[in-house]
Each structure stands twice: as structure tokens, then as C-alpha cells.
Amino acid sequence: MSEKKELMSDAFQVFMREAPQHAQAWMTAVRSLDEASALDKKTERLAYLAVLAALGLESGIPFHAAQAKEAGASREEVISALLVGLPAAGTIVTRSLPAAIRAYDSAEGGG
């Protein structure tokens, strides 16, 4: 878990540490939504990366790129997921590439 924690943004780590009841409620909702998904884990992780990139939420990219690798996504699939929103969202999605590639390359397992 320490490897995953290192990939979490500072803001999310502070949220979990300083507001544990809120963090627990949030994580319960996240788990419930995850269980409700009809997507397989790899597809879900890749789709989530695409959404983060399109919204410019770069702080979550390292953690979720490592999760995608753990779920069996290849390096090329992670890159493609980040860039799938390029026509709709524009070049904002390219800002996520460096962090995703670093996290993917240093993460264990999968891929």
C-alpha cells in the first residue's frame, strides 16, 4: 500500500488524514460505484484515466495509471486512454502523459 500511497496526490493524502470520516464516506461511495460497474477492471481503469485527462485532473493520474497497469493494461493502452479525448477536449489531455508514463513505468505488476 505504501507504493500506492506515494502515488496519491498530497491533497488526497491530507483529505484522508485530516478528515477521516469524510474520507471513509467517500471511499464507501467509490467502492459502491465500482461494484455497480458493468465494465471489467482494465476497461474501467482506462476509462477513468480518460476522464481525468479530459478534465485536466492531473494529480490523480499517477495513482490511476498504476491501477490500470495492475489491472492488466499495457503502456500503449494507458497512453491511448489518455489521448482518446483529444478530439473533444483538446491538448489538455497531453498534460497527463508525463505523469502517467512515469507512474506506469515504475509500477509493479500487470501490463
- Compute the distance between CA of residue 39 and CA of residue 46 in angstroms, rounded to an integer: 10
Residues contacting 42, CB < 8 A, separation 6+: 68, 71, 72, 73, 77
Cβ atoms of 75 and 105 closer than 8 Å:
yes
Is residue 111 a part of any domain in this protein?
no
**pLDDT by residue (tens digit) across 45-58?**
999 999 999 999 99
Cβ atoms of 16 and 23 closer than 8 Å:
yes
**pLDDT by residue (tens digit) across 39-90?**
999 999 999 999 999 999 999 999 999 999 999 999 999 999 999 999 999 9
Domain that includes residue 72, residue range: 2-106
What CATH number has the domain bearing residue 81? Answer: 1.20.1290.10
Please tell me the total count of domains within the chain. 1
